[in-house]
Amino acid sequence: MKTLTPWQQVLYRLVQLIASWFPDPAERSIYQDAAIDFRIPYWDWATPPPPGEMVYLSEFAEPGIQVYGPRGWQFIANPLHSYKFRPLDPEVFSEGDFPRWTETMRAPFETSDNQSIAHAVEHARPALQQRLYTLLSNYKDYGPFSNKYWGIATNQSQYDSIESLHDAMHVLVGNRGHLFYIQYSAFDPVFFLHHTMADRIVAMWQVLYPMSWVSAQVAAEHSFTMPPGYAQDAFTELKPFYADVNGTFWNSAMARDTSAFGYSYAETSASPGSNLAENQARLIATINRLYGPSSSSHPARKRRRTATGRDPGARDQVTKGTISSKKVMDFSHDVDFVSKVVTEATMYTEWVANVHVQNGALNGSFTVHFFLGEVPEDTTSWLAAPNLVGSMPVFAMKNMGSGNHISGTVPLTSALMHLVLAEVISGLDSKETEPYLEENLRVRVIGEDGAEIPVDTINSLHIQVASSHVRAARSEWELPSWGTVVERFVMRHG
């Protein structure tokens, strides 16, 4: 077996040890066989959860759980709920109340508020799903796909990245707890499940676009081993990670395939005797099944077959051309993208808000929120507000003094489809859409301490609303194809 990464090796050995503790020889053999195949699990925060469940796992919220082990059924402290510091070193955790918290926290207020996080993640999931689907279908060069730094992007369709999507979950789930702060985040048990999900996304992308990988770039920020401005490429040593006992360090070329570490994902494992094209087709079908439904580009033939009527009750929430001041349009749920916006040539218009801003604009993490219509006065309600279209979190470390710009994208098409079905606008590519967004799209910013930051005080914040004609996937073995992205207008903050 090829070598697992060092941190995976630690868990792997513990799993083998626990399996060896089962007293009954037959049962011990079953668990030891299973333990050999143990690999790190991932949390898929983009796939719609089963009916009646939420994407934020209930296991994250329970302090204790019943488990079956060598001693039979036992009630134990839930390792996915929090990590307990034994002992807590207050000098390591210098921010706010962190020096007194003896375990990791999420949305902390004396204790973790997992319920509020669950609702916030559930609200954000459709947008996260759309962003992931677009990254896998439209980002074909590894540089823009991987990297959030503005300037890596080569055109207006390349604002988003897996790094920006990854950052969103740190800010959303941490919510001023440990996962929210770069220097503390790895202590939260969600960290590893989340990062394994990011690793899985990269592995899927590699199957789709095997000819693109790390290219020569200049380091944008400090790291522990490299100053900014240092030239890097696929052969740059990834210190401090040793590849062998002779002192050879891993590099990106050596670590390009997960098989180098003795594992793969179900979606990326090649079928025996299959070729690359067959493996890609199988993966694309899986991507459409898992991540297509919240995207307007889910295979058009299926959409036409399952077309439904207008959004029930939606017209009552809006007036023609504007959002009612008495009722707020609810954009928090998936909408069926029906044939009304997809032509017989399977074409439709995708709308996005592209954001770039200095990483160190507020000396820490912050979030740019987008609303359609009136913004609720209570900032604590924003993450689950029904008319919140999407958010672009910035995951930044304090006192780094970074003047580099980072970028991300907020999908708008799903919210616009609600309006189409409510007959507020006539279609995604109509002349009404652009002026409607100019009049009704609102932006707000929440800082690291949870307080609202006046948008006009962030001089580096640039928001561009853009659209693109997209050919929807015509079968389950095809991904959508994006045309040229056209800037429609630059948002005037407010």
Per the model's pLDDT, the better-predicted residue between 335 and 90 turns out to be 90
What DSSP designation does 304 have? H
- For 445, counting Cβ atoms within 10 Å of its Cβ (0-12 exposed, 13-18 middle, 19+ buried), the class is buried
- For 114, counting Cβ atoms within 10 Å of its Cβ (0-12 exposed, 13-18 middle, 19+ buried), the class is buried
- Contact assessment for residue 265 and residue 446, using Cβ atoms and an 8 Å cutoff: no
The DSSP annotation for 35-82 comes to HHT-------SSSPPPTT--SS-GGGT-SEEEEEETTEEEEEE-TTT-
Mean pLDDT rounded to a whole number for the chain: 88
288: which residues sit within 8 A by CB, 6+ positions away?
298, 299, 473, 476, 479
Give me the phi and psi of 116, to 5 degrees please.
Answer: -65, -35
253: which residues sit within 8 A by CB, 6+ positions away?
213, 214, 234, 235
Hey, is 253 helix, strand or coil? coil
* pLDDT exceeds cutoff 80 at 479: yes
Query: Token pair for residue 76?
Result: 């134990």
Please state, for a pLDDT cut of 90, what percent of the chain lies above it: 70
- Most confident option among 193-207, 242-256, 471-485: 193-207
* pLDDT exceeds cutoff 90 at 482: yes
Q: Which residue has the tokens 């407010």?
A: 494
- Contact assessment for residue 221 and residue 150, using Cβ atoms and an 8 Å cutoff: no
- Contact assessment for residue 135 and residue 161, using Cβ atoms and an 8 Å cutoff: yes
Per-residue pLDDT band at 174 (split at 50, 70, 90) = very high
Q: Which of 454, 390, 447 is nearest to 168 (CA)?
A: 390
Torsion angle (degrees, nearest 10) of CA 480, 483, 488, 494 = 30
Per-residue pLDDT at 474: 86
Return the minimum-mean-pLDDT range out of 161-170, 295-304, 353-362. 295-304
- Contact assessment for residue 143 and residue 217, using Cβ atoms and an 8 Å cutoff: yes
CA-based end-to-end distance of the chain: 57
Please state, for a pLDDT cut of 70, what percent of the chain lies above it: 87
Query: Token pair for residue 136?
Result: 């896998």
Q: What is the pLDDT of residues 355-404, one digit of tens each?
A: 999 999 999 999 999 999 999 999 999 999 999 999 999 999 888 767 88
Give me the phi and psi of 437, to 5 degrees please.
Answer: -65, -40
Per-residue pLDDT at 179: 97
